[in-house]
Amino acid sequence: MITREQFEQLEALDAGNNLVLSTYLDLDPERQVRRAYRIVFEDLTKEACKRLDESQRADLTSEAARVQTWLETAHPHGKGLALFACEPLGLWQIYFFQVRMRDYLTFEPRADVAPLLELFDDWERYAVALVDKRHARLFTVFAGEIEESDAFEDFVPGKHDDGAMSQANFQRHHEAHVYRHLKRVAQHLTEMLRHRRFDRLILAGPEEPTSQLKRLLPRALAQRVAAVIPAEVAANQAEILAKTLEVERGVERAVEQGLLDELLELAGGGGRAACGVDPTLTALWLGDVQTLVVADNTAFAGSECSNCGKLEATTLDRCPACGEPMRAMENLVHRCMARALEQDGSVEVVHDEAARRLQQAGSGMGALLRYRLPAMQLASSP
């Protein structure tokens, strides 16, 4: 699994005069049995070669041969693969995922990390605290993978006294031990957040201890609580993962619908939002995109100016703004996502109903802006 730090290093990589092979493969179990992903990679390479000149084709053929040799002998695992290679730079990085990746290949001056960006957007890192009054099990969940990071048990006396202490005093004694146990859980979660940051937190277990734990959480943790769900403390990891993914899907889709509501409202009122391909490309050129919003599966070819950075949703030889050569882009949407990150913006990929709404309203693209720009400026080049 790739870390955020590794992703940022890839995103910042500039190969200069060299080209980076970026490939993503779907490792569906049926493909792994027949090793059909090797044929898919060959087909992707052939298609990419058609878009390159003679010198670039030779470089891609060389890089692809290294990958093919590795695919012949390696035993990929998981459901998805990302591979980045550039022999002149000594770059050779391979990552496996427990979620499927779309088959895709590029050979460009920068590593194409847009599918990874979508992965980080779709799959936030969750922490799960599974507790009862004595036990605690702490998990982290990301991109379909679950890991139990901590587990402990505290002594808590039963609820009923054997006669040596009044029932009221014994009940208070019991509750004090439960309180200390749950306070310890909160402290462990705080340490988790400090050393291995997570985006959201799920509290799982019987109603009484999870409710009390929620009240004991410091603000930084309380703000991350996504759900409180019933669960048995002895539940296996597969059960915990299934419950977490169900919560995660609901949270992500609700966030996406809210984001799209905001974008369409601001764009419709002439405010700080752009809706549509051309207005969004202009906003990116002006460096005004705060959040780029893209509908899932949106892809089209285009051009990027090598001088001023202008983006066009058509293949052009010369930049309409400065007259310098334009570089053809197989997937301009991926370049837009990278451009937004370069400008310290963010990217959100929306799915399902939110994606359908954005396709209808803006051909799959829009943006929340840093500044409110005149409508004419967003509609045309300055």
Rounded CA separation 228/205 (Å): 8
Q: Measuring CA to CA, which residue among 212, 192, 203 is closest to residue 133? A: 212
Q: What type of residue sits at position 24?
A: Y
Domain 254-379 in CATH 3.40.1390.10? The answer is: no
Span 143-159, pLDDT tens digits: 888 998 889 988 877 66
Rounded CA separation 378/270 (Å): 10
Mean model confidence pLDDT for the chain: 89
Rounded CA separation 323/314 (Å): 15
pTM value is 0.72
HEC profile of the chain: CCCHHHHHHHHHCCCCCCCEEEEEEECCHHHHHHCCHHHHHHHHHHHHHCCCCHHHHHHHHHHHHHHHHHHHHCCCCCCEEEEEEEHHHCEEEEEEECCCCCCEEEEECCCCCHHHHHHHHHCCCEEEEEECCCEEEEEEEECCEEEEEEEEECCCCCCCCCCCCCHHHHHHHHHHHHHHHHHHHHHHHHHHHHHCCCCEEEEECCHHHHHHHHHHCCHHHHCCEEEEECCCCCCCHHHHHHHHHHHHHHHHHHHHHHHHHHHHHHHHCCCCEEECHHHHHHHHHCCCEEEEEEECCCCCCEEEECCCCCEECCCCCECCCCCCEEEEECCHHHHHHHHHHHCCCEEEEECHHHHHHHHHHHCCEEEEECCCCCHHHHHCCC
Domain 126-235 in CATH 3.90.1150.10? The answer is: no
Question: CB count, 10 Å around CB of 375?
Answer: 11
The architecture of the domain spanning 4-112 is 2-Layer Sandwich (3.30)
Q: Where are the domains of the chain?
A: 4-112, 126-235, 254-379
Question: CB count, 10 Å around CB of 268?
Answer: 11
Residue with tokens 């990874």: 116
The pLDDT averaged over each successive group of 10 residues in the chain (382 residues) is 80 87 91 84 94 91 95 87 95 92 92 87 88 95 88 78 58 82 95 90 96 96 96 94 93 93 85 92 93 94 92 93 90 92 91 95 95 52 38
Rounded CA separation 272/13 (Å): 31
126-235 and 4-112 share a CATH fold: no
